[in-house]
């Protein structure tokens, strides 16, 4: 998808559906998190690399628009990019596509999450380490692998 270099694949679990017969809207937040963690694993040594420096990344905001429902067993591609790194804050933007069996795709949701980095002990804001800035800069400028 234009503007995105990273994506991860999700298959909708039965436990994620609700009585409307579609994935519950809160499930999307879990998928965005899976994508974020996959992004960090590929580009920044994984979320554990951040934690090992005594830093936690809190989620401070969520914004999501749903265009279509996702159904049990649907294959989804969750696109993610890291943007707006400043001080102790950063954001992720996402696009969620359904991949049909014939290979065509359909945009079903778009959104973003906001994050703040804090000291794991004191929970006070901690500036993003330079290596994180560098890793994101590399990730967002590289051609897709």
Q: Of the ranges 9-17, 77-85, 96-104, 128-136, which one interacts with a copy of itself (CB under 8 A)? A: 9-17
If the CB atoms of residues 64 and 85 are measured against a copy of itself, the closer one turns out to be 64
Q: Is 81 in contact with 59 (CB distance < 8 Å)?
A: no
Residue of 1, 58, 83, 107 interacting with a copy of itself (CB under 8 A): 58
Cβ(101)–Cβ(124) under 8 Å? Answer: no
CB 119 within 8 A of CB 126: yes
Q: Where are the alpha helices (DSSP H) in 1-145?
A: 27-43, 47-51, 130-141
Greatest Cα-to-Cα distance within the chain, rounded to the nearest angstrom: 51
Among 52, 54, 60, 125, binds a copy of itself (CB under 8 A): 60
Of 7-15, 82-90, 100-108, 133-141, which segment contacts a copy of itself by CB under 8 A?
7-15
> Restricting to residues 18-57, which ones interact with a copy of itself according to CB under 8 A?
18-22, 24-27, 29-30, 33-34, 37, 46-48, 56
């Amino acid at each position: 998808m234009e503007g995105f270099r990273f994506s991860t694949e999700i298959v909708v679990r039965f436990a994620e559906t609700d009585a409307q017969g579609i994935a519950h809207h809160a499930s999307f937040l879990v998928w965005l998190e899976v994508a974020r963690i996959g992004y960090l694993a590929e580009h920044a040594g994984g979320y554990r690399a951040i934690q090992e420096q005594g830093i936690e990344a809190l989620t401070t905001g969520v914004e999501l628009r749903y265009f279509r429902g996702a159904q049990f067993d649907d294959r989804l591609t969750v696109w993610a990019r890291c943007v707006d790194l400043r001080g102790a804050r950063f954001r992720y933007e996402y696009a969620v596509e359904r991949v049909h069996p014939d290979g065509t795709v359909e945009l079903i949701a778009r959104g973003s999450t906001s994050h703040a980095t804090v000291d794991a002990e004191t929970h006070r804001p901690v500036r993003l380490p330079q290596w994180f800035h560098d890793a994101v800069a590399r990730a967002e400028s590289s051609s897709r692998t």
